[in-house]
Amino acid sequence: MACHIVRERLAARPRLLTLRSRPLRIALAGQPNVGKSVVFGHLTGRYATVSNYPGTTVSVTTGRSLIGAEVCDVIDTPGVNTLEGAVSEDERITREALEGDRSDLIVQVADARNVRRALMLTSQIAAFDKPMVLALNMVDEALARGIVVDAPALEAALGVPVVEMVAVEGRGLPELRDALARATRPHVPALQRAGDRAVWAHELTTRVRRVSALSLARIPEALARATRQPATGLPILVAVLYALYLFVGVFGAQTLVRLLEDDVFGRGVNPAATWLAFRLVPVPWVRDFLVGQYGLVTMGLTYSIAIVLPVVATFFLIFGFLEDSGYIPRLAVFGDRLFRVMGLNGKAVLPMVLGLGCDTMATMTTRILGTPKERLIATLLLALGVPCSAQLATIMGILGGISFAALGTLFGVVVGQMILVGWLASRVLKGERSEFILELPPIRWPRPGNLLTKTRLRVWWYLGEAVPLFLAGTVLLFALDRAGLLGVIAAAGRPIVTNLLGLPESASQIFVMGFLRRDYGAAGLFELARSGQLTGVQAVVALTVMTLFVPCVANFLMMVRERGLKTGLAILGVVTPVALLTGAGLNYVLHACGIRF
């Protein structure tokens, strides 16, 4: 056996030095949340989002890496528990990435604590009959839990190089690079049935792994327990939401916004720009275009940089912390029963909570759900009710300043609508829901480095994606205003905006802005509210409608990409009337009851 391996290795060695018509393709595969994206980041120097929950990666990412003397393509794939039978969308994507000539070499990244499960996957990956390397990641966590894996014995049994790693610290990476040159086809019995593979994996594991009862991870384990037990978990949830409110709604949306908008823009940038414009630009309409009521600087930049940037930045930071701690999937334990009412299961907590970061990305995350029906309902609910980071923060910023009751009313109505629409959708739509089986990741202390990188990249992404749209929106508003169409729109919207929703006429242009980006509209409302043009009831109604209203353009395009044009339009067709009717109903009820906030 051993001699056989040596011969294979010698035969394999020159492989990396041969000339190729295209770079060697190395695919990273493995169970969810084992650190594939971390390894990918180290090999390629590209950052793939790293979090502590299964389903962070739902699409294939490719990067270049210099391995030995050769440039290779490294492919990061979504995590998979199985590659055969009824697989979900992300699992299918991985299977396709491993098949045929889309990859030449497979690195299976495995959680060293969980060799048994990893081996079950190994025997499936072996069926692709490609050279592979097994990377046992997180050996430090395994050791802390008293688990020791005999890597040489495993290497001998599988006939492929086995490397021990702590990828987040970069430990084991040189060894992995060396091992890539020695990659061989695994010698694993060809097993067809899942049951047989389980038996094989179980036997091999008992030979190569020792588990002692020792555990050094006391505090994270206690936290892991506290966050999923109802008696402690619900108070913790309330505390987390309150911390989120304090950090984003108060510190971000009030303190930072005041600083940026009033001081930096109000007293610095805008007066300076206006002064410059009057000095340098002789044409009045161009001056207006830059610094007028709908000016690029005075509106576009002020909204995007002074109002929305501080709230999304604070939100991304605290959200990244929650993602990396492993807390979010634990909410699924509480949410399961509620989500079942809506034709989903607890796993849908992941896309829903991620939607608070960005509905567009979350729409892509619906791939982790088991059935087409679930993916459709989750997409619909994301479009309907889940406010994205910028919206959420402006909501907190505006309503937090009014009263807790106002905030509670909005969330109560929105959640109620989601449950109602989800329940109806689960009745109307054909298909089934899948069963709730979710792996809960361990609670970990987030790594500051990853947290900062992730937040920085997300803020850059926001600047790159949202700011141009804010500017484009401002140009559009400017053009509409010049052409006298803004008045026409306001007049056309009056029956709905003023009569039905009871909002001031100026609110109709905010809904035009909201079509473009919801946070742009929310920023407009923020301005109205701060200048005292909205009563408490009007603020609640306007924000409720804005939250339930059509998603932003990017989210719509993502819905079309993931679900098709027909479904995308159908979702819009459901969401718009629901939003307006809910707003009208809320306006009526609040007035009838004489509630003022």
Partner 1 sequence: MRVAFDSDRVQPLSSLAEGASGEVAEVVARASGRADRLLSFGVTPGARITVLQTFPGIVFLCDQTELAVERGVAADVLVRLRGTRTWCR
Q: Which residues in 226-245 contact partner 1 (CB under 8 A)?
A: 228-230
143: helix, coil or strand? Answer: helix
The answer to whether residue 214 forms part of the interface with partner 1 (CB under 8 A) is no
Residue 139 binding partner 1, by CB under 8 A: no
Q: Does 170 bind partner 1 (CB under 8 A)?
A: no
* Total of residues contacting partner 1 (CB under 8 A): 42
Collect all residues with Cβ–Cβ distance below 8 Å to 347 and sequence separation of at least 6.
332, 368, 369, 370, 434, 436, 438
Q: State which residue, 141 or 288, has the beta carbon closest to partner 1.
A: 141
Q: What is d(CA 208, CA 188) in angstroms, rounded to the nearest whole number? A: 15
Nearer to partner 1, 353 or 398 (CB): 353
Q: Would you say 120 or 571 has its CB closer to partner 1?
A: 120
Residue closer to partner 1 by CB (options 172, 329) is: 329
Binding partner 1 (rule: CB under 8 A), the pick from 4, 225, 267, 561 is 225
Given a contact cutoff of 8 angstroms between Cβ atoms, the answer to whether 50 and 450 are in contact is yes
Shortest Cβ distance from residue 194 to partner 1 (Å)? Answer: 5
Contact flags string 459-488 toward partner 1, x per CB under 8 A: ------------------------------
Phi, psi for 18 (deg, rounded to 5): -75, 155
Q: Going residue by residue from 65 to 94, which x/- string records binding to partner 1, judged by CB under 8 A? A: ----------------xx--xx--------
437 binds partner 1 (CB under 8 A): yes
245 vs 51, 323, 389, 391, 410, CA distance in Å? Answer: 22, 17, 12, 13, 15
Residue with Cβ nearer partner 1 (145 or 373): 145
Q: Residues 439, 465, 481, 562: which binds partner 1 (CB under 8 A)?
A: 439
CB closer to partner 1, 278 vs 445: 445
Which segments within 96-213 are labelled E, that is strand?
Answer: 105-111, 132-137, 147-149, 162-164, 209-211
Contact present, 302 and 422 (Cβ < 8 Å): no
**Is 46 near partner 1 (CB under 8 A)?**
no
Q: Which C-beta is closer to partner 1: that of 100 or that of 195?
A: 195
Q: Is 440 in the site for partner 1 (CB under 8 A)?
A: yes
When asked if residue 535 is in the footprint of partner 1 (CB under 8 A), the reply is no
Based on CB atoms, which residue is closest to partner 1, 41 or 442? 442
Tell me: does residue 224 bind partner 1 (CB under 8 A): yes
- Smallest gap, in angstroms, from Cβ of residue 113 to partner 1? 4
Among 93, 132, 135, 147, binds partner 1 (CB under 8 A): 147
What value, to the nearest 5°, has the Cα angle with vertex 47 and ends 50 and 311?
70
- 375 lies in the site for partner 1, by CB under 8 A: no
Candidate list 19, 192, 430, 435; residue touching partner 1; CB under 8 A: 435
- Rg of the chain in Å (alpha carbons): 27
From residue 325 to residue 354, the character string flagging contacts with partner 1 as x (rule: CB under 8 A) and all else as - is ----x--xxx-xx--x----xx--------
Q: What are phi and psi of 26, to 5 degrees?
A: -110, 115
What one-character-per-residue DSSP string does 353-403 give? HHHTT-HHHHHHHGGGSSSHHHHHHHHHHHHHH---HHHHHHHHHHHHTT-
Cα dihedral sign, 8-13-14-15: positive
CB closer to partner 1 out of 201 and 307: 201
> Is 42 a residue that touches partner 1 (CB under 8 A)?
no
Rule CB under 8 A: is residue 403 a binding residue for partner 1? no
| Residues 184 and 12: beta-carbon distance below 8 Å | yes
Q: Is 186 helix (H, G, I), strand (E, B) or coil?
A: coil
Q: What contacts 24+ positions apart, CB below 8 Å, involve 345-352? A: 345/370, 345/374, 345/433, 345/434, 345/435, 345/436, 346/436, 346/438, 347/434, 347/436, 347/438, 348/374, 348/378, 350/53, 350/55, 351/378, 351/382, 352/378, 352/381, 352/382, 352/386
Q: Tell me if 436 contacts partner 1 by CB under 8 A.
A: yes
What is the spatial distance between Cα 420 and Cα 546, in angstroms, rounded to a whole number? 18
Distance from C-alpha of 75 to C-alpha of 466, rounded to nearest angstrom: 29
CB 402 within 8 A of CB 597: yes
Question: Which of 25, 42, 145, 458: binder of partner 1 (CB under 8 A)?
Answer: 145
Catalog residues that contact partner 1 under the rule CB under 8 A: 81-82, 85-86, 111, 113-114, 116-117, 120-121, 145, 147, 194-195, 197-199, 201-202, 224-225, 228-230, 329, 332-334, 336-337, 340, 345-346, 435-442
